[in-house]
Amino acid sequence: MSGGAQKRNLTAGKMVSYAWNKLGVWLVFIILFILLAFANEKFLLPANLINVVRQICVNAVVALGATYVVLCGEIDLSQSSLAVLAGCGCAMLIMRAGMNIYLAMVISLAAGTVVGALMGLIVTKLRVQSFIATLGMQYALAGVVLLLTNSQPITGLPDSFAVFGRGYVGPIPVPSIILVIVFLIGAFVLKYTAFGRNVLAVGENPTAANLSGISVHRTKIAVFAIAGLMSAMGGLLLTARLSSGQPSSGSDLSLQALAAVFVGGASKGSVMNTLAGALIMGLINNGLNLMEVNAYWQKVALGFIIVGAVALDMFRSSHSGSKQ
């Protein structure tokens, strides 16, 4: 235990903690980005980077909804089914009912919001724990999808619809533009509106929130409605990307979204952390692909990385928060 070594450790540690305080989880993203840039020459190719962004769009949009639910102290496991329902439903409205695509999209988004609000009602008014309530809804909605589609994909969607999933404006993919817009709105609402404060307050201490005049039920119903809206939007992006409504697609969207939320550390109360979480997961996927790691091993690695990220975050916050 030489004093010099300890001192050096301390300053290095200080620098890391300073950078962490300033950048938070984005520091992890940056480090990962640099590592991958050195590890594989293909990584920095524009085509590859655009691909990364394109691939995370669906997950990130759904994760934005999950962020609000998690910040409010609840969890939503039904997002994947709801996303697929909205995506396939929209495809059916266009292909089977011959509806105008924009009207079909608006109806799908509205339906997602209503189903989300319904979930909120079940959680608040019927007082079913959100884990159970949304787990049940996950099954029920998946069943509805199969009933509606008879488990058959709905193909032949027009290009004017597919553009939302695979189109470009110049070099920029359309879904990533949508992604940026919804995250800016999501971050703004959380930080600069009374509703955003209410979400944080209810998530932190529902009793105190109620005694401060905040309607806990109304706030929770609203966050589930937001999650429903974002699930539907994710489902539309997915359907547009595949140019077809696939009843069997996106089954692990809920969990991927939650992984992005927790890897990002949404407990810090920032929507942008979730975007970082989704990007980190996208980079890891991409990196493992570029390094030609076996797809099965990729899953194993991703699983451990998710658990490790949250454990690291817990370790860090328990140590920085140990005042007295």
Partner 1 sequence: MQENYDENVLVLKGVCKEFPGVKALADVDLTIRRGEVHALVGENGAGKSTLMKILSGAYKKDGGTILFNGREVEIGTPKAAEKIGISIIHQELNLMGSLTVAENIFLGRQPRSRGIVQWKKMFDDAQALFQRLGIDEDVRRPVCELSIARQQMVEIAKAVSVDAKVVIMDEPTSSLTSRETEILFSIIGTLKEQGVAVIFITHRLEEIFRVADRLTVLRDGCYIGTREVKETTKDELIAMMIGRELTQQFPARNAEIGEVCLKVEHLSDGRRVRDVSFEVRHGEVVGFAGLVGSGRTETMRLIFGADKRRSGRILINGREAAMATTRDGIRSRIGFVTEDRKGEGLLLSLPVRFNITLVAIRKIQRMRMLNMKKEQQVSEDYVKSLHIATPSINQRVVYLSGGNQQKVVVAKWLFSDSEIVILDEPTRGIDVGAKREIYEIINRLASEGKAVIVVSSEMEEVMGISDRIIVMREGEVAGTVERKDFSQQRITEYAVGGTAS
Binding site for partner 1 (CB under 8 A): 191-194, 197, 200-201, 204-205, 207-215, 269, 321-324
Residue 200 contacts residue 269 (beta carbons within 8 Å): yes
Task: Return d(Cα 30, Cα 295) in angstroms, integer.
Answer: 25
Q: Which is nearer to partner 1, 167 or 269 (CB)?
A: 269
CB of 29 to partner 1, least distance (A): 24
Q: Which is nearer to partner 1, 188 or 297 (CB)?
A: 188
CB of 192 to partner 1, least distance (A): 5
Q: Which is nearer to partner 1, 176 or 273 (CB)?
A: 273
DSSP per residue, 100-133: -HHHHHHHHHHHHHHHHHHHHHHHHTS---HHHH
Q: Which is nearer to partner 1, 139 or 192 (CB)?
A: 192
Q: Amino acid identity of 212?
A: S
- Residue 62, C-beta contacts closer than 8 angstroms, at least 6 positions apart: 79, 80, 83, 230, 231, 233, 234, 253, 254, 256, 257
Q: Which tokens in the block code for residue 127?
A: 């007082």
CB of 193 to partner 1, least distance (A): 6
Q: Which is nearer to partner 1, 46 or 321 (CB)?
A: 321
Nearest-10 crossing angle of helices 295-320, 271-290:
140
Task: Return d(Cα 67, Cα 59) in angstroms, integer.
Answer: 12
Rounded alpha-carbon distances, angstroms, from residue 118 to 133, 150, 173? 11, 25, 33
CB of 269 to partner 1, least distance (A): 8
Q: Which is nearer to partner 1, 98 or 321 (CB)?
A: 321
CB of 194 to partner 1, least distance (A): 5
CB of 321 to partner 1, least distance (A): 8
Q: Which is nearer to partner 1, 186 or 287 (CB)?
A: 186
CB of 15 to partner 1, least distance (A): 16
Q: Residue 2 region, left (φ>0) first, then alpha (ψ -120 to 50), else beta? A: beta
Residue 212 CB neighbour total at 10 angstroms? 10
Residue 215 contacts residue 127 (beta carbons within 8 Å): no
